[in-house]
């Protein structure tokens, strides 16, 4: 089977079990030897008829248990008791940091209002924060500015599910009052932002981008939304995602890349990346399970941070894969990513995975990158692919910065064959959707779409799921052995590295590094050690300070 990320980001590969369907019946047919004989063929097993006959009663009893458990209400928000731990044995007692963090942002040059107010659209989070701190502009004025841009460009980009205008203006006025009273909260205070519409927001719909849920309201704020509000952020919009976090097609159409309206923005953080790239918000929140920050950031030319697994609470977020889902910022620079990450990371009683990753965060922009030992995946850079020249130029830039580059070989374990873990967990998360038949309402119904993948995943045996998790443990240890002496490493954005690191839970930052032949941006990915986002952001900022790709933006001639 090919890696699942090809489906999640709009690939056209075929799913091996795509033709399978699930039979839902009020009165299940008896389980006979012939039924078990056919079932074992699906799983590649070869028991004798006598052995199958002996197992028949236990299998029947188990089916009865399944039916009993199906009567329990298990909404998407209920997580399993098993918590994925991405830490190799070496790190079970805490990560070892090799740098001294200052917990301070670098000094910033004096920021003034532009002569053309439209230029504010592409100011960084840090710059806008300075304008607000120095009272050169009010949060309400800035909020109205971005709301106007959202209304102007969304009809073409299709990146918004809901404008939260009333809430935004209320929050902006509160921020202005606090700043005026000397209660400045930091660089996000008064800055507008948006979130992917799989994060719950009290008082507004949370649609998950899908027809069966397009009128859904959840009476809570996701932890990430709460933390950004506490940091003084102003929520202006909820952004599109491909249905149930796959691709860029949702119930309102296909979200577009602002670089070329004929091109989709990829997925599944489709609207978040499109809106940031078009200057409709300074930053947005996305999520990644298997490419959903990396891919739209590439299609739109944004900088995205996929944090270590467990670093950011997923409470209040739609669950797709409890052992792979991660939440992170999409911005226009690594420094902005770090600022947003600082506000949203940390322990949360509502997400047990955050207890494993509670190591705190401090800025490390004072880091001397010349002292870093950085790997690069030589085999991936050596192959022939459309953006090879852009990626090779990244290595040359790092060498000019004095970074020590060393060859790295990734594990040979079959990571792609472990990705059925995602669809199995997704099938459990959306069990009711499948069994109720409401999946027929979804926009996409082809063999690579969720309705079919969820049905096919009903045929994944529990034993094979657990075996894949055991193989994943081997992958974690193998990966750690290869990179433990590195501070970070570089790889093309689309390679087996994307699959491996989403399975192992490592943090990554994806950044623009040029343009592709089709006129869309290209990106490069830096991957860090678990929980060392600060060091990763420092390296990424050093690269961006030496180049200007992060400063480019689409002309928006539409």
Active site residues: 196, 268, 292
- Determine how β-strand 192-196 pairs with β-strand 234-239: parallel
Q: Are 200 and 317 in contact (CB under 8 A)?
A: yes
- CA–CA separation, 477 and 50 (whole Å): 41
The secondary structure of 165-200 as a DSSP string is: HHHHHHHHHHHHHHHHTT----TTTT-EEEEETTB-
Terminal CA-to-CA distance of the chain, rounded, Å? 41
Sign of CA dihedral 176, 181, 182, 184: negative
- CA–CA separation, 339 and 133 (whole Å): 15
- CA–CA separation, 331 and 339 (whole Å): 10
- CA–CA separation, 61 and 28 (whole Å): 12
- CA–CA separation, 502 and 260 (whole Å): 29
- CA–CA separation, 7 and 189 (whole Å): 38
- CA–CA separation, 273 and 398 (whole Å): 26
Q: Are 193 and 147 in contact (CB under 8 A)?
A: no
- Determine how β-strand 160-163 pairs with β-strand 234-239: antiparallel
Residue 24 burial (10 A CB sphere; 0-12, 13-18, 19+): exposed
- CA–CA separation, 378 and 50 (whole Å): 53
CA distances from 266 to 101, 240, 270, 430 (A): 35, 11, 6, 23
Q: How many CB atoms lie within 10 A of CB 108?
A: 13
Helix (H, G, I), strand (E, B) or coil at 526: strand
- Angle in degrees, 0-180, between the axes of helices 139-157 and 165-180, rounded to the nearest 10: 150
Sign of CA dihedral 473, 479, 485, 489: negative
Find the length of the chain.
Answer: 558
- CA–CA separation, 130 and 538 (whole Å): 21
Nearest to 361 by CA among 129, 97, 540: 97
Q: Are 402 and 483 in contact (CB under 8 A)?
A: no
């Amino acid at each position: 089977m090919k890696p699942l990320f090809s489906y999640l980001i709009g690939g056209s590969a075929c799913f091996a079990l795509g033709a399978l369907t699930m039979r839902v019946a009020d009165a299940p047919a008896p389980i006979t030897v012939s039924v078990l004989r056919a079932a074992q063929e699906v799983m590649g097993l070869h028991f004798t008829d006598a052995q199958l006959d002996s197992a028949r009663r236990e299998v029947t009893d188990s089916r009865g248990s399944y039916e009993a458990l199906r009567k329990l209400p298990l909404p998407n928000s209920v997580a399993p008791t098993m918590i994925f731990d991405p830490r190799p044995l070496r790190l079970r007692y805490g990560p070892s940091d090799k740098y001294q963090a200052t917990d301070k942002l670098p000094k910033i040059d004096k920021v003034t209002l532009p002569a053309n107010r439209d230029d504010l659209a592409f100011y960084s989070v840090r710059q806008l924060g300075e304008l607000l701190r120095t009272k050169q502009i009010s949060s309400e004025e800035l909020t109205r500015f971005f709301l106007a841009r959202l209304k102007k460009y969304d009809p073409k980009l299709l990146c918004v599910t809901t404008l939260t205008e009333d809430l935004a203006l209320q929050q902006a006025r509160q921020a202005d009052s606090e700043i005026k009273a000397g209660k400045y909260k930091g660089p996000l205070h008064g800055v507008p932002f948006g979130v992917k519409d799989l994060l719950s927001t009290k008082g507004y719909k949370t649609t998950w981008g899908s027809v069966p849920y397009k009128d859904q309201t959840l009476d809570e704020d996701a932890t990430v939304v709460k933390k950004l509000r506490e940091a003084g952020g102003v929520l202006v919009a909820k952004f599109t995602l491909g249905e149930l976090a796959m691709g860029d097609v949702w119930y309102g159409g296909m979200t577009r890349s602002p670089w070329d309206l004929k091109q989709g923005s990829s997925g599944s953080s489709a609207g978040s990346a499109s809106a940031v790239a078009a200057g409709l918000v300074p930053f947005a929140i996305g999520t990644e399970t298997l490419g959903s920050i990396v891919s739209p950031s590439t299609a739109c030319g944004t900088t995205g941070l996929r944090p270590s697994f467990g670093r950011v609470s997923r409470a209040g977020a739609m669950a797709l894969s409890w052992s792979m889902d991660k939440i992170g910022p999409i911005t226009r620079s690594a420094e902005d990513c770090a600022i947003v990450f600082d506000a949203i990371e940390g322990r949360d009683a509502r997400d047990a995975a955050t207890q494993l990753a509670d190591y705190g965060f401090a800025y490390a922009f004072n880091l001397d990158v010349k002292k870093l030992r950085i790997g690069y995946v030589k085999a991936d850079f050596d192959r022939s692919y459309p953006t090879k020249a852009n990626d090779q130029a990244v290595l040359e830039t790092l060498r000019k910065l004095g970074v020590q580059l060393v060859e790295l070989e990734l594990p040979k374990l079959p990571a792609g064959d472990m990705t059925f873990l995602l669809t199995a967990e997704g099938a459990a998360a959306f069990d009711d959707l499948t069994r109720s038949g409401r999946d027929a309402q979804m926009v996409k119904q082809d063999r690579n779409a969720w309705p079919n993948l969820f049905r096919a995943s009903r045929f994944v045996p529990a034993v094979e799921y657990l075996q894949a998790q055991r193989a994943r443990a081997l992958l974690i240890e193998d990966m750690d052995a290869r990179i433990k002496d590195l501070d970070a490493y570089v790889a093309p954005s689309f390679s087996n590295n994307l699959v491996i690191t989403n399975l192992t839970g490592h943090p990554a930052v994806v950044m623009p590094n040029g343009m592709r032949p089709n006129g869309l941006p290209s990106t490069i990915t830096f991957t860090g050690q678990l929980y060392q986002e600060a060091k990763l952001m420092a390296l990424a900022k050093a690269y961006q300070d030496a180049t200007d790709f992060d400063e480019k933006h689409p002309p928006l001639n539409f």
